Amino acid sequence: MEFFYPNFINDFWRIIGLVFFGEKEHFVVPGERRFDRERIVEFCKEKGIAMFDTATEVRRLQDNASDKFLEVIKPTDLPGLLTLIPACRAVVTTGQKAADVIVGAFGCDEPRVGGHTLLDIQGRSLEFWRMPSTSRAYPLPLERKADSYRQLFSALGIK
């Protein structure tokens, strides 16, 4: 994939558009069925938002996009990665599979959806947020998902 959440059916960038700009189509290329990668990258740089996968090698067990049928072969070295990002204050997941990887890597409690707990990484404390899935298969209206993400960014002081 060229970037994170490129599938036009996934609502991640629509949620972010609602939260920060009050417009769900903010990151959509006008007249096209795709997101504006350059605008997204600039936005993430401006806000200090970094993205990375929780696994570097996965296998799809069925021919669909559901994480339910995703097998993690090689998880990302998250403790190592986070030591390279000393300014990082929080880790956020948007799905159950990613949350499972975080819990496995750090031995922490899994937060409720929309909530957070703390991670300890070599004496450094970070917030671990478990957000609602941005997949349309997740049974929560877009506006309610956006409210959860709005609370996350507000708590982290990202405006």
The rounded radius of gyration (Å) of the Cα atoms in the chain is 16
pLDDT score, position 56? 85
Of 20, 19, 39, nearest to 28 by C-alpha is: 39
pLDDT value of position 92: 97
User: Residue-wise over 20-29: b if at least 16 C-beta within 10 A, else e?
Assistant: beeebebbbe
Domain coordinates in residue numbering, the chain: 12-155
pLDDT tens digits along 102-120: 999 899 999 999 999 999 8
Q: Which region holds residue 114: left if phi is over 0, alpha if psi is between -120 and 50, else beta?
A: left
pTM, rounded to two decimals: 0.90
Can you tell me the distance from the alpha carbon of 91 to that of 145, in angstroms, rounded to the nearest whole number?
18
In this structure, what token pair is assigned to residue 8?
Answer: 């036009």
Q: pLDDT per residue over 127-137, tens digit each?
A: 999 999 999 88
The answer, yes or no, to whether residue 66 has pLDDT greater than 70, is no
